[in-house]
């Protein structure tokens, strides 16, 4: 009985909860992101631009799904990126409610310019782990995200379905 109580009190320790640790890891990741990228983009803006660079011409809803954000957030972030001159939005003739997106030359140059910073971000974030631990961590983190995708309020769309 005493052993069970010890286990229960361990589970009540905030630092034993995966959600808390994931939130802290996200805080650290965003902090390093801003340190490396120096305010040029937010993490969500970067994710949208990087995805759009690989899939030019997709619509806002598809882009939001591929980055796993809700469509209203995706639309407002795309509007800000358009204001910055980093992407263009054009009404799709056969579906006037949708916008086709393309990255601008300025957006593509920005991505190319910050590539080294993005690589440093990854290195800094994973630095406490050995190379083998990094591979295992990424594999397990990906599994956690993929297997729990349906639990998200903004599930990741399958790229092959988009």
Report, at the CATH architecture level, how domain 41-161 is classified: Orthogonal Bundle (1.10)
| HSE value, Cβ hemisphere, 13 Å, CA-based, for 75 | 8
Q: What is the pLDDT of residues 97-136, one digit of tens each?
A: 777 899 999 999 999 999 999 999 999 999 999 999 999 9
- Report in angstroms the alpha-carbon separations of 16 from 11, 24, 26, 147: 6, 12, 16, 21
8 A C-beta contact, residue 63 and residue 52: yes
pTM of the model: 0.82
Domain boundaries, the chain: 41-161
Q: What is the pLDDT of residues 61-78, one digit of tens each?
A: 899 999 999 999 999 999
């Amino acid at each position: 009985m005493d052993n069970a109580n010890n286990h229960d009190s361990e589970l009540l320790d905030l630092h034993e909860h995966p959600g808390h640790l994931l939130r802290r890891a996200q805080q650290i990741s965003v902090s390093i992101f801003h340190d490396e990228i120096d305010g040029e983009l937010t993490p969500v803006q970067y994710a949208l631009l990087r995805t759009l660079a690989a899939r030019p011409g997709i619509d806002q809803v598809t882009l939001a799904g591929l980055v796993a954000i809700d469509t209203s957030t995706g639309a407002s972030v795309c509007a800000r990126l358009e204001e910055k001159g980093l992407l263009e939005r054009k009404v799709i003739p056969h579906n006037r409610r949708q916008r086709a997106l393309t990255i601008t030359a300025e957006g593509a140059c920005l991505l190319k310019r910050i590539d080294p910073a993005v690589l440093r971000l990854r290195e800094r974030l994973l630095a406490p782990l050995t190379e083998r631990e990094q591979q295992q961590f990424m594999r397990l983190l990906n599994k956690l995200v993929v297997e729990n995708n349906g639990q998200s309020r903004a599930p990741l769309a399958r790229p092959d379905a988009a």
